[in-house]
Structure 1
């Protein structure tokens, strides 16, 4: 009886409704007194909209990764609370070690790589792109009807599974884990911004000049590269020039939102942020490939 009574009053399991494609631990690095600057352009002809918000109030969409099938809400939201939460927790711990110049473990390295890969694929626009591509491929399948709710749900659930495959790929993951990690402090009067697509990729990831870059704070950058001279090519640039180039790239590639630590870059963002058309040089996936300077 005592056990039954105790079970009756256990607190309910929290079901995540707001699925963050930009995790709060990452966005907190752009805060001052708990707030950051969020920039969006709601319609094509409008000026950008600037607002100071908390990290919890930006970079999310309700039920972005929810499955349409499952025995419970907890089961249907497993991608958010189990899969992405684990990736984000590992990356948060690895970044702290990187900041403190502490040696990281193999788990830390894999955690950072998976986090970076996840940022390429988990945004709403990227998810929508994957759903549209899968729908196109299914049009020749007998019995498939893209206007039918059942088939729309099937597409949604398959793309959720595909997301896991892309981020945990047995082909891509080992390839990127083989890269070295370089922490680059940026000493400039200007600050780095970030966005819903904050990753910069080289042309290909298998050649010796391959790299992946991610701003992880307004004055810090991570570079994954096979060769140290690739990281040096960026870190030895004049830092005002480096920030200008990185911010230009991040803003032009952004599809929904820009994040900044202050409002200094507002005019720069206004001039470049156009989420309604693909940037020059972007592939079918909307991503730009970059070269070593």
Structure 2
């Protein structure tokens, strides 16, 4: 089967918030999605399954005309699928459903998975694509002349080549960022633990921006939090003092409140929880600080420098 050239054709769902992650919030296979269906209007809850949300059709699809279906979907199936599948064992350890010991494979898989939550989302893909489109347009005539000088008889015209090149290079860029060894090494060297908040009686939210970072990853005080279920955080720190502060000094109920507020306010489109009992809280805060995320990531070439210079992001 060939790649679909009709832009109106229905493309496969690509989950930028992985299903194995979202499933932790479901009960009997369903949970509550919060969004504004009509743009910036009223926040509405919607019952759905993990596979019914957190996706964009064709997000990682290679769009070259005539490309076979298996090649068109190779980034989603082979790369993103591998990132998610390898992370399952690590997630089971963190959730306490597996008594396996951490090893290099599971630590690397989890670091890569968390990094993917930062880079695989639609806004990152779109900003990378714009960066590359601007590159080609910046000196169009020179690029065209260089291309035409090497163009073979079967090669597309330059105006047709650019969209294909941008699509291909965008996906390569995203995969490279997810596999970035600098970020993966920083996270992998940190102290990992979980914090159970079930006794607080309040459930953790997640969203399309679930990762909370204090000031990048490179400082002694740097720390990362990620809800991995309605009752449990993943926590990464550099020092025993910071680990103790998050796990034992801050009251658990206050920690839940702070993190829920952060995660919902930084959400770009979606937040999720087990039910809609906190709908008023979501209506007050959903996406109120979404622009802070966008500002942090819009200068792609300086991304890693900013990540380690004390700029907060999630």
Please report the TM-score for the alignment, with normalisation by the length of structure 1: 0.85
Q: Supply the RMSD in Å over aligned alpha carbons.
A: 2.6
- For the Cα contact (< 8 Å) 1:32–1:261, is it kept in 2? yes
Unaligned runs of at least 5 residues, structure 1: 1-15
**Whole-Å Cα distance in 2 between the matches of residues 282 and 222 of structure 1?**
26
Residue 171 of structure 1 aligns with which residue? 182
- For the Cα contact (< 8 Å) 2:136–2:162, is it kept in 1? no
**Whole-Å Cα distance in 2 between the matches of residues 200 and 137 of structure 1?**
32
Q: Secondary structure at the match of 2:132?
A: helix
Residue 114 of structure 1 aligns with which residue? 112
Residue 159 of structure 1 aligns with which residue? 170
- For the Cα contact (< 8 Å) 2:195–2:232, is it kept in 1? yes
Change (3 A) 1:130 1:276: farther
Q: Is residue 241 of structure 1 aligned with residue 254 of structure 2?
A: yes
Q: Is residue 48 of structure 1 aligned with residue 43 of structure 2?
A: yes
Unaligned runs of at least 5 residues, structure 2: 1-10, 145-158, 300-306
Q: Secondary structure at the match of 1:171?
A: helix
Map 1:1-293; keep pairs closer than 5 Å. Answer: 17-69=12-64, 71-100=67-96, 101-143=99-141, 150-186=161-197, 187-236=199-248, 237-274=250-287, 278-279=291-292, 283-285=296-298, 289=312
- For the Cα contact (< 8 Å) 1:41–1:275, is it kept in 2? no
**Whole-Å Cα distance in 1 between the matches of residues 77 and 293 of structure 2?**
36
- For the Cα contact (< 8 Å) 2:208–2:268, is it kept in 1? yes
Cα displacement (A) at 1:128:
1.2
Deviating more after overlay: 185-194 vs 42-51: 42-51
Cα displacement (A) at 1:131:
1.5
Corresponding pairs, count = 275
Cα displacement (A) at 1:173:
1.9
Please report the TM-score for the alignment, with normalisation by the length of structure 2: 0.80
**Whole-Å Cα distance in 2 between the matches of residues 38 and 281 of structure 1?**
22
- For the Cα contact (< 8 Å) 1:27–1:55, is it kept in 2? yes
**Whole-Å Cα distance in 1 between the matches of residues 133 and 252 of structure 2?**
44
Deviation string, structure 1 residues 1-54 (Cα, Å, up to 9, x no partner)? xxxxxxxxxxxxxxx921111111111100111111001113344111211101
Change (3 A) 1:174 1:36: same
Change (3 A) 1:86 1:158: same
Change (3 A) 1:109 1:123: same
Q: Secondary structure at the match of 1:278?
A: helix
- For the Cα contact (< 8 Å) 2:296–2:313, is it kept in 1? no
Q: Secondary structure at the match of 1:74?
A: helix
- For the Cα contact (< 8 Å) 2:35–2:269, is it kept in 1? yes
Q: Secondary structure at the match of 2:291?
A: coil
Cα displacement (A) at 1:264:
2.0
**Whole-Å Cα distance in 2 between the matches of residues 275 and 150 of structure 1?**
39
Cα displacement (A) at 1:74:
0.7
